[in-house]
Amino acid sequence: MKSFAGLRLILAAAVVAACAVSGAAAQTLKTQPPRTWRHGIIEAKSDAGILFVASRRDFAATLGLKLDFVQLKNDTIALKALLAGDLDSYEGGTGGAIVAASRGADVKIVGCNWLVPPHGVYVRSDIGSMADLKGKSVAVSAPGSFPEIFARAAFEKAGIPVSAVKFAAMGADADRYRALMAGVVDAAIITNEFVPLAGKAAIRDIMPAHEVLPDFLRVCVQTTGKTLSQRRDDAVRFIAAEIEGLRFAMSHRDETVKLTKEITGMKPDDPRPAYVFDEAVKTKSIATEMPIPMERLEFMRKELVGEGSLTHPVDLDKMVDAGVREEALALLAK
Distance CA(320)–CA(318), nearest Å, equals: 5
Assess contact for 191 and 219: CB atoms under 8 A. Answer: no
Asked if the domains at 33-116+216-333 and 119-212 fall in one CATH topology, the answer is yes
pLDDT in tens, 61-77: 999 999 999 999 888 89
What does each C-alpha distance from 314 to 125, 197, 199, 301, 327 come to in angstroms?
A: 43, 41, 45, 8, 26
In terms of Cα–Cα distance, which of 260, 290, 240 is closest to 115?
Answer: 290
Distance CA(235)–CA(327), nearest Å, equals: 10
Query: What's the residue count for the chain?
Result: 334
Distance CA(177)–CA(246), nearest Å, equals: 27
DSSP 25-63: HHHHHHHSPPEEEEEEEEPP-TTHHHHSHHHHSSTTGGG
Predicted local confidence at residue 196, as pLDDT:
87
Predicted local confidence at residue 33, as pLDDT:
67
Run of H or E residues at 244: helix 225-251
The three-class DSSP label of residue 68 is: strand
Q: Kindly list the domain boundaries of the chain, sorted by start residue.
A: 33-116+216-333, 119-212
Question: Structurally, what CATH architecture does the domain formed by 33-116+216-333 represent?
Answer: 3-Layer(aba) Sandwich (3.40)
Give the strand pairing for 35-42 and 89-92.
parallel
Residues lower than pLDDT 70 in the chain: 1-33, 200
Predicted local confidence at residue 122, as pLDDT:
96
Angle at 305 between CA 82 and CA 102, to 5 degrees: 35
Strand partners, 168: 139
DSSP 167-219: EEE-SSHHHHHHHHHTTSSSEEEEEGGGHHHHTTS--EEEEEHHHH-TT---E
Distance CA(182)–CA(297), nearest Å, equals: 36
Distance CA(217)–CA(214), nearest Å, equals: 9
In terms of Cα–Cα distance, which of 108, 118, 74 is closest to 92?
Answer: 74
Distance CA(101)–CA(53), nearest Å, equals: 29
Assess contact for 226 and 106: CB atoms under 8 A. Answer: yes
* Strand arrangement, sheet containing 204-208: 166-169, 137-140, 187-191, 119-123, 204-208
Q: What is the pTM of this model?
A: 0.79
Q: Is 258 exposed, middle or buried (0-12, 13-18, 19+ CB in 10 A)?
A: middle
What is the CATH code for 119-212?
A: 3.40.190.10
